[in-house]
Structure 1
Amino acid sequence: MSKFVTKDLFEITPEIAHLAALCEESNAIDRELYGKYDVKRGLRDMNGKGVLAGLTNVSDVRAKKIVDGEEVPCPGNLYYRGYNIKDLVNGFLKEDHYGFEEIAYLLLFGELPTRQELADFQVMLSDRRTLPPNFVRDVIMKAPSRDMMNSLSRSILSLYRYDAKADDTSIPNVLRQCLNLISQFPMLMVYGYHAYNFRRGQDLFIYAPRPELSMAENILMMLREDRQYTKLEAKILDMAMVLHMDHGGGNNSTFTTHVVTSSGTDTYSTMTAAMASLKGPKHGGANIKVTQMFEDMKGVVNDWEDEDEIRQYLYDLLDKKAFDQKGLIYGMGHAVYSVSDPRAEIFKGFVEQLAVEKGYEKEYSLYSKVERLAPEVIGERRRMYKGVNANVDFYSGLVYQMLNLPQALYTPIFAAARIVGWSAHRLEELKNVDKIIRPAYKALAPHRDYIEMDDRGDEVC
């Protein structure tokens, strides 16, 4: 029997460890070469500006303005189809209705809906909040995963086999598929969570969505055993989903959507690829890291009012002495924004309101202190090419905690919102670009002559 065969496929055996060392050695690239060949690592320059890779009408992220012919940082702004996100939020708050459906219509179809168009669209989404017969039993309840993003990805891929036109990439058919997935996503998410808990010995309750409720209301209703929620809770979850709905064409998961769409593959595979990207802790999983960091901080910092003690903890984070020893203060900084993240600014006022309702004033005060102190600490310890500010993930984890949402659903809720943006970008890619995305990589390995087996030596496994 080969020495590589092992009974436990999930163990890192000595043989695997040895081969991993070979992998690390053979894959190492001198970082100076990136500068020599002008390679933009992360497809960004030293100032964090992304390499121009496409055109989009869906949304725009602005963090700079031109002053005397020079680009200078300015407070961040986010635009959906040309409308400032702050104006959109103020608009549906003034109208006193939930914003998810209205802003989804805008991103998908390019214009703000009339009252009748919005009402018709709400009915359309409501009618599509259904799953194939026995889907919950045959797919969701079988082999539930502790990781909800993986569970959701499996469910989305499974929907492919129920769709007779799964591979049709015409605009009408892809729009149909996208509307289905947007409507079905909350059920896939919540039912997957309940299925996993049931396998762990907890009670199982599966509630059907109610047609008269908004997307946010249905999520809270289906998630909670008593089906109860306050209007403020639903309003803030709705706002969180609007703020997470899209963020330009270059964010990792949306760029993934463009890349995979350009290959000509189906909608279910495309959305699953985007899900895999969003799952990463540097992207959609960042708010979980923020929450975990603060839980560690609350256990280490004795006096939450002592700014010197808080500052020391932040130093320890950067010095890799605290939390996960990664040298990061999670929730601070952004690839584009350097002065302020408009989503975090909008969030903050409502976070304070929810903190009062839920009795989280002390936690909110701690977050506020860290938001103020962290840029100072980072500026002292790091060489910075642009400013650092709190991003939307800094407060979203606290919001979800106050809403008593399970941590396992933090990233899936992000995905339930962002799937609208992915849909808009997929439709845009299909309409405008009939060319597969294929950037270039410079090969560094020298060409070598083939070595016969007997001449390779015994030291190679």
Structure 2
Amino acid sequence: MALKETLKQKLEEFRPRTTRLVKEFGKVKIDEVTIDQCIGGARDVRCLVTDISYLDPQEGIRFRGKTIPETFACLPKAAGSDYPTVEAFWYFLLTGDVPTQEQVDAVLADWKTRQAVPQYVFDIIRAMPLDSHPMAMLSIGITAMQRESKFAAFYESGKFNKTVAWEYVYEDACDIVARIPVLAAFIYNLKYRGDKQIAIDPALDMGANFAHMIGQGEEYKDVARMYFILHSDHESGNVSAHTTHLVHSALSDPYYAYAAGLDGLAGPLHGRANQEVLDWTIKFQEKYCKDQEPTRELITRALWDTLNSGQVIPGYGHAVLRKTDPRYTSQREFCQKHLPNDPLFKLVAMIFEVAPGVLTEHGKTKNPWPNVDAQSGVIQWHYGVKEWDFYTVLFGVGRALGCMANITWDRGLGYAIERPKSVTTPMLEKWAAEGGRKM
């Protein structure tokens, strides 16, 4: 299709840039590594490359060079909506070009041919205990579909060619992003709606179709579009994106790679944080605001009680950002328009007004501003999606877009298997005593 041809042209234009950098400038030094970075999870070590998105500490995420407001403004909108379709965003992530409506329609039509999940995948998930975590179900569902991998079949064919390998990654990537919302909706209905499944509506775009398949109304279609786009990518260093890249660097196919990424996303320090923030917010509401409006004075006192008891304020702070997360802001604006009187949103809004000042005065938080998790659960709760262990699945549907776009480009540019060098603790102690490693 036209998108694949456009992507092919982009890759062919881009490859010489990567080749030249390695060949002519490969020994140019761009960073240093300290002992605290070595022990502390490689924090801020510049050793990954992606052109899909970049996380600026002050501006927040940029998708293909555009901020979130710029991204939402420039892309073609869904019919009757203020939000673009996920299909339009997918074209943009892959190519960096703002698509025409005709190009968006072509992606939508292509996804319709790909979105049918094989029946055996549903059978496998149904065989799991019903109280299995929905993220386990999603990961197993993606892994089960590995038998459909076009990349794996190409590798096993004996005709494997690195130059064109990206084309088969692209095919798998498109299959995965088209199918994962269908798989997620099946899991939701199986676990929480008595297995009352709703068939795909072939007339709807991805976000609208997901809303339809879980029994939601018109407003939730925009929730889904917004949510999947906002959670799609956050440069390469986060656990889900990095894991997907790492596993695929071994030429594991996209199904294996993204199942691994989902397993990382399920961690409480990554994608599951939205669930934990909502749990904390509801308990906070019950304790402090059950029978009264959340005033500035009340919330200030309650937050200090929280901090003085040794607890943290979930949803505040970020490993990279040093300002309010623009993804938080986008969701806050949605809430102000569509659910301004929701009691839980009013509480979250007041915490937003008060918490940065309290945390700054407290002095133990590098970034006193909210991240995306401080807001996202409130929207789902308002629309009746109250099963918060499912929230990370929603995250996983959106994150598939960024992860699949990234590994398509990884193969297109022929990136090597990732293999960092390890050191021992005695080595670090020796270099610490000597004031650094002698080169």
TM-score (norm 1): 0.76
> Separation in 2 of the partners of 1:120 and 1:313?
52
What is the one-letter code of the residue matched to 1:340? T
**1:294-319 C-alpha deviation (Å, 9 max, x unpaired):** 11101110444343332233233334
The answer to whether residue 322 in structure 2 is matched with residue 315 in structure 1 is no
Amino acid at match of 1:147: H
CA contact (8 A) 1:304 1:310 kept: no
Partners of 1:191 and 1:146 in 2: CA distance: 14
Partner of 1:404: 384
Equivalent residue number for residue 298 of structure 1:
285
2:409 corresponding residue in structure 1: 428
SS in 1 for 2:62: strand
Q: 1:145 to 1:433 in 2, by over 3 A?
A: farther
Looking at CA atoms only, which structure, 1 or 2, has the larger radius of gyration? 1
Q: Is the 8 A contact 2:228 2:397 kept in 1?
A: yes
> How many Å apart are 1:350 and its aligned residue?
0.9
Q: What's the offset of the Cα at 1:337?
A: 1.5
| Residue 214 (structure 1) shift | 1.6
Name the counterpart of 2:66. Answer: 83
1:70-97 deviation line (CA, Å, top 9, x unaligned): xxxx4x2422122232112123487755
- Superposed CA RMSD in Å reads 2.4
Q: Which runs of 5+ in 2 are unaligned?
A: 1-32, 156-164, 428-439
Matches of 1:36 and 1:404, distance apart in 2: 47
Would the alpha carbon gap of residues 141 and 38 (structure 1) be closer, same or farther in structure 2, given more than 3 Å must change? closer
User: In the alignment, is residue 269 of structure 1 matched against residue 256 of structure 2?
Assistant: yes
- TM-superposed deviation, 1:147: 0.9
Q: 1:433 to 1:40 in 2, by over 3 A?
A: farther
Q: Which structure carries more helix by proportion?
A: 2
**1:174–1:295 CA distance, 2 compared to 1 (3 A):** same
Q: Does residue 335 in structure 1 map to residue 322 in structure 2?
A: no
Q: Is the 8 A contact 1:145 1:151 kept in 2?
A: no
- Residue of structure 2 in register with 1:25 after alignment: none
Q: Deviations over 1:305-356 (max 9, x none)?
A: 34333223323333445xxxxx321111112211221222222111112214
**Cα offset, 1:164, TM superposition:** 6.5
C-alpha distance after superposition, 1:337-384 (max 9, x if no partner): 11221222222111112214xx51x32221111112212222233334
Deviation at 1:167, TM superposition (A): 5.3
Alignment deviations for residues 186-233 of structure 1 (CA, whole Å, 9 cap, x no partner):
121121222234xxxx63311221111121211121112xxx502x32
Measured in 2, the distance between the counterparts of 1:111 and 1:263 equals 29
Of 254-263 and 266-275, deviating more is 254-263
Where does residue 244 of structure 1 map in the other structure? 231
Q: What is the aligned partner in structure 2 of residue 142 from structure 1?
A: 127
Residue in structure 1 matched with residue 172 of structure 2 by the alignment: 177
Q: Distance in 1 between matches of 2:52 and 2:354?
A: 35
Structure 1 contact 58–425 (Cα < 8 Å) conserved: yes
Q: 1:168–1:174: 8 Å Cα contact kept in structure 2?
A: no
Letter in 1 for 2:51: N
Shift in alpha-carbon separation, 1:163–1:118, aligned structure 2, 3 A:
same
* Paired residue total: 379
1:388 matches 2:368: yes
- Aligned-residue sequence identity (percent) comes to 25
Shift of 1:120: 0.7
State the distance in 2 between where 1:351 and 1:394 align: 13
Amino acid at match of 2:323: V
Name the SS for the 1:185 alignment partner.
helix
How much does 1:150 deviate?
0.6
Are residues 166 and 353 of structure 1, via their aligned partners in 2, closer, same or farther at CA, if it must alter by over 3 Å? same
**8 A contact 2:85–2:207 mirrored in 1:** no
Gaps of 5+ in 1: 1-33, 45-49, 64-73, 322-326, 447-461
With over 3 angstroms needed to count, the CA separation of the structure-2 counterparts of 1:293 and 1:167, relative to structure 1, is farther
Partner-residue secondary structure (3-state), 1:39: helix
| SS of structure 2 residue aligned to 1:78 | strand
* Offset, 1:37: 6.9
